[in-house]
Amino acid sequence: MKKKLTTMLYGGDYNPEQWPEKSWNDDIKIFEEADINSVTINVFSWALLQPNENTYDFSILDKIIDKFTKKNFKIVLATATAALPAWMFKKYPDVARVDYQGRRHVFGQRHNACPNSPNYLRLMQKLVDKIAQRYASNSNIVVWHINNEYGGNCYCDNCQSAFRKWLKNRYQTVEKLNSAWNMNFWSHTIYEWDEIVVPNELGDAFGPENSETTVAGLSVDYLRFQSESMLNTFKLEKQIIESYDPDTLITTNFHGLPNKQTDYASWAKEQDIIAYDSYPTFETPAFETAFMYDMMRGLGNGNPFMLMESTPSQVNWQAYSPLKRPGQLRATEFQAVAHGADTVQYFQLKQSLGATEKFHGAVISHSDSTDTRAFKEVAQLGHDLKKISSDIMHTTTSAKVGILFDWANYWSVEYMATITQDLNYTKLIHDYYKALYNNNVTVDVIDIDSDFSKYDLLVAPLLYMVKDGLGKKIEDYVANGGNFLTTYFSGLVNESDKIYPGGYPGPLKKVTGLWVEETDAIIPQNKVTINYDDKTTCTGNLVSDIIRLEGAEAIATYASEFYAGTPAVTKNNFGKGVAYYVGTHLDDSGLAHLFKYLITKIRLSQLSTNINPSLDITERHNEKNTFYFILNMSNEPQELPSEFKNNQFIDILTASQPKTTLDPWAVTILKK
C-alpha cells in the first residue's frame, strides 16, 4: 500500500527552467501568497537533462528540487519523457512516429515518440533510471508523474512488426484471424502474418484518421495494440521508479472527452491514483465536465482523483476562450472536488514567454503582477481549499447508478459504416448522463469489467460491441435483481467487430426479451413520435428499431411512420430484475420521462428533487460526516433547493447557515 496524499495539493505545472534562477524566489513568494503548496516539475525537460546521448546534466533540476524541498512544497515529479530532444531524431530517426498518411516525422511538437522504437525505449528507460535513482529518497515528492497526456498513433515498420506479433499472440493462427475479421470479404484472406499491414491511409483505412476502415476488426485491434504499446512504456517507467521508490504514488494524466487513443479502463488499472486534465470550453455544459469527473472517480474504483491540470484563467488553443467571470474559477475548480478530486492543480503556475502555449493562462501572468482580479481569485481559492482540506480529503461518493463506457465499443461505434452517419458515442452517452444529472442522481461512469452488483441501475447506451462473457455477466446481474437499460445498436458485434448472427441484440436478446427486425434511419430534419403508456408523447431521432417482442412488453410505442403502434421502449422481467430496451434516441423530454419512470420504479435516491441544470449537487462522505456540495454553475443567482433550506446544515466554508439564494458561481458545502 503506497503512501496516500496527506493534504489537498494546490498548485500545478511550473517550468522554472524557462527563467533565470534569480527569478524563482519571487515566484515562490507569490505561490505562498496564494496558499499554493505543490509544484509539478520536469515535465518537458529531457533536452535539458541530456544534451546528447552520452551526457546527462541534472544541475538545474537539482537546484529546482532543492529549492522547493527547502520551502517544503509537495513535489509532483515528472519523468520528462513526453517530448524527445532534437538530437535524438537526428541520431535515431526511428524514434519519430510515422503518421496516418505514411510519413516519417522529424523533430518537432511533443507526443512524438514511437512506442515501439527500440532506441526510444532504451533511452527512455536510461533517463528514468537516472531520475528515479537520484530523487527517490526525497520525501517531498508525493507523486511521480510519468510522461504526459499520452496519445497519438504510430504506423511505422517497428509498430507493424510488433503488431503482427501481438496479433499472433491474440489469434494464434491466421485461420482464426481470418475468421475473426471475416477476411474472405474483398479478398482479404491472409496466409502469413507478414501479409498484415498497418491500417493507415495507404492500406485498409482511409478518410480522416479512424473514420473509415475496410476491416473494423483490424482497425479496432490496431487501436488496442497502440494503446497497449503506450501503456507498456508507462509500465516500463513505473517499474523502474518502483525499484527505487516503492512507496510513492505513480500516475500519468488522463485528458480529453475522452481521449480516443488510449483505453483508460486498462490504463486505470496501472495507476496508483487517477489524474485528470480538465479543459471545458466556454460552451461546455456543466454536466459534461461532471461526466468526466464521474468517469475519473469510476476509473479509480470510487477513490479520490487528482485534478492535475486546469486553467486559472484562459487557454490558448480553444476556438474562443473568454475570461472566467468573477467567481467562476472557484466554482469550476470546486466542481472537481465535489465529484471526487483531492487536488486542484493548474497548468500553469507561470506563463511562458515564448512558443505555442504562451497565451495559456497562468497564476503568474506575463504582467508578473499579483494586483489582478485573476490572481486574487486564485489566492482566495487557495485559502478555501486549505480550510476544507482535512474535512474533505479521502471522503468518497456512493452511486447506485452506473453508466457503462467502454473504449473498444467507443472505437467500434465510431468506425461503424451503417445506415446513418450521425453516430457519436460520447454525445449519445452524454444525453443519458444528463437526464440523471438533472435529476440529481449520483452516477458512476464505469467500465464493463467493473463490479455491477453494487448498482441498482446499469445504463448501457449503444453497447454495440459485447465481448465474450459480457452478455452472461449482464444476465447474472439482472437475474440477481439488477435493472439494466440498453438501446438500439446494442449487442451487435463481438470483440473482433463481427456480428452475432441470429438477430440483434445478440447476447442481450434473452435478457431484453426481444429481437430487432430492422432499423430505420431518421434523417436529421425528421423525428419519430413516441407515445408512453401514460399518454405522454415525445420524439425520437437518429434511428428507430422495429422491435419483435419475445417476452418483453412495451412501455412506449411509435406513433408515426409505417411502424406506428409497434414497441419503442420495452421492459422485460428477468429473474429478480428488469431489462429495459430503448429502440430510438429519445429527445431530452423523452429521456426525462423515462428516468422519472425509472427513478420511481427502482426507487433511486435523488440528492434533490429540484430540477435545475445550473446546480451541480453532489455529496462526499466518510464514516463520520456527509458533505453536500451545491454549486451554482451559472452567472445568475439560483434558488437553494428546499432539501437544504434547513437549519441543520452548516456551510463549512463560511461556518454559517447557507443563503437561500445562491449568488452567481456560488460554492456551498454543507455538513449536517
Q: Return the CA Rg of the chain.
A: 26
CB 91 to a second copy: min, Å? 10
Q: CA 274, CA 252: separation in Å to the nearest integer?
A: 8
State the residue for C-alpha cell 408523447: 537
Note whether 244 binds a second copy by CB under 8 A: no
> Which amino acid appears at position 384 of this protein?
D
Q: Work out how close the CB of 563 gets to a second copy at its nearest, in angstroms, rounded to a whole number.
A: 9
CB 71 within 8 A of CB 36: no
Known binding residue 548? Answer is no
Residues 383-442 that bind a second copy (CB under 8 A): 416-422
Q: Is 552 in the site for a second copy (CB under 8 A)?
A: no
Cβ-count burial of 139 within 10 angstroms (0-12 exposed, 13-18 middle, 19+ buried)?
exposed
The site that binds a second copy (CB under 8 A) totals a number of residues, namely 117
- Alpha-carbon distance 180 to 572, whole Å? 32
Q: How far is the CB of 455 from a second copy (least distance, A)?
A: 31
Nearer residue to a second copy within complex by CB, 188 or 400: 188
Q: Between residue 503 and residue 532, which ones bind a second copy under the rule CB under 8 A?
A: 503-504, 515-523
Of 46, 39, 49, 43, residue with least CA distance to 69: 39
148 has binding-site annotation:
yes
For residues 276 and 299, the answer to whether their CB atoms sit within 8 Å is: no
Cell of 526: 425528421
Q: Considering the complex, what minimum distance in angstroms separates the CB of residue 213 from a second copy?
A: 7
Rule CB under 8 A: say whether 45 interacts with a second copy.
yes
Catalytic residue among 149, 288, 495, 619: 149
Report the residue from 175, 194, 451, 588 that binds a second copy according to the rule CB under 8 A. 194
Q: Is 297 annotated as a binding residue?
A: no
Grid coordinates given for 655: 461556518
Q: Which residues contact 424 (CB under 8 A, 6 or more apart)?
A: 414
| Residue 373, H or E segment | helix 373-392
Based on the shown chain and the rule CB under 8 A, indicate whether residue 193 belongs to the binding site for a second copy: no
State the number of CA atoms in the 13 A half-sphere of 287 facing the CB.
21
Answer yes or no whether residue 44 interacts with a second copy by CB under 8 A: yes
Q: State the nearest-atom distance from the C-beta of 660 to a second copy, in Å.
A: 24
Which segment (48-56, 577-585, 615-623, 644-652) binds a second copy by CB under 8 A? 48-56
Comparing CB distances to a second copy, the nearer of 47 and 559 is 47
Q: Which of 87, 170, 387, 643 touches a second copy by CB under 8 A?
A: 87
Site for a second copy in 132-171 (CB under 8 A): none
Q: Is 66 exposed, middle or buried (0-12, 13-18, 19+ CB in 10 A)?
A: exposed
User: Where does this chain touch a second copy (CB under 8 A) — which range of 189-197, 254-262, 444-452, 580-588?
Assistant: 189-197
- Give the DSSP H/E element, type plus range, for residue 271: none
Stretch 102-121 residues interacting with a second copy (CB under 8 A):
102-110
* Closer to a second copy by Cβ: residue 53 or 476: 53
Among 136, 146, 196, 530, binds a second copy (CB under 8 A): 196
Least distance CB 531 / a second copy (angstroms): 20
- Residue 426 phi, psi dihedral angles, 5° rounding: -60, -45
Q: Are 68 and 41 in contact (CB under 8 A)?
A: yes
Minimum distance, C-beta of residue 101 to a second copy, in the bound complex (Å): 8
Active site residue 149: yes
The mark string for 454-483 relative to a second copy (x by CB under 8 A, - otherwise) is ------------------------------
Q: Name the minimum Å distance from CB 130 to a second copy.
A: 16
Backbone angles phi, psi at 537, to 5 degrees: -115, 140
Pick the catalytic residue: 237, 288, 309, 333? 309
Q: Smallest distance, Å, CB 637 to a second copy? A: 15
Residues from 312 through 341 that contact a second copy (CB under 8 A): 313-317, 319-323, 325-326
Choose between 191 and 655: whose C-beta lies nearer to a second copy: 191
From the list 353, 534, 535, 600, which residue makes contact with a second copy (rule: CB under 8 A)? 353
Nearer to a second copy, 227 or 544 (CB): 544
Q: Which of 426, 403, 424, 428 is nearest to 415 (CA)?
A: 424
What contacts 600, CB < 8 A, 6 or more positions away?
A: none
User: Environment class of residue 500 by beta-carbon count within 10 Å: exposed (0-12), middle (13-18) or buried (19+)?
Assistant: middle
82-92-162 Cα angle (round to 5): 75
Task: Give 165-231 as a DSSP string.
Answer: HHHHHHHSSHHHHHHHHTTTGGG---SSGGG----STTTTEESSTTTEES-HHHHHHHHHHHHHHHH
253-312: contacts with a second copy (CB under 8 A): 282
Q: Is the dihedral of CA 588, 589, 591, 596 positive or negative?
A: positive
565 binds a second copy (CB under 8 A): no
- Please say if 553 is a catalytic residue: no
Compare residues 270 and 561 and give the one whose CB is closer to a second copy: 561
Query: Which listed range, 71-79, 362-370, 444-452, 577-585, lies at the site for a second copy (CB under 8 A)?
Result: 362-370
| Residue linked to cell 432539501 | 643
Residue pair 336/307 in contact by the 8 Å Cβ criterion: yes
Interface with a second copy includes 18 (CB under 8 A)?
yes
Of 2, 6, 25, 51, which lies in the binding site for a second copy, with binding defined by CB under 8 A? 51
The neighbour count for residue 385, using CB atoms within 10 Å, is 23
Tell me whether residue 317 is annotated as binding.
yes
Report the catalytic residues: 149, 309
Q: Binding site for substrate: which residues?
A: 110, 148, 317
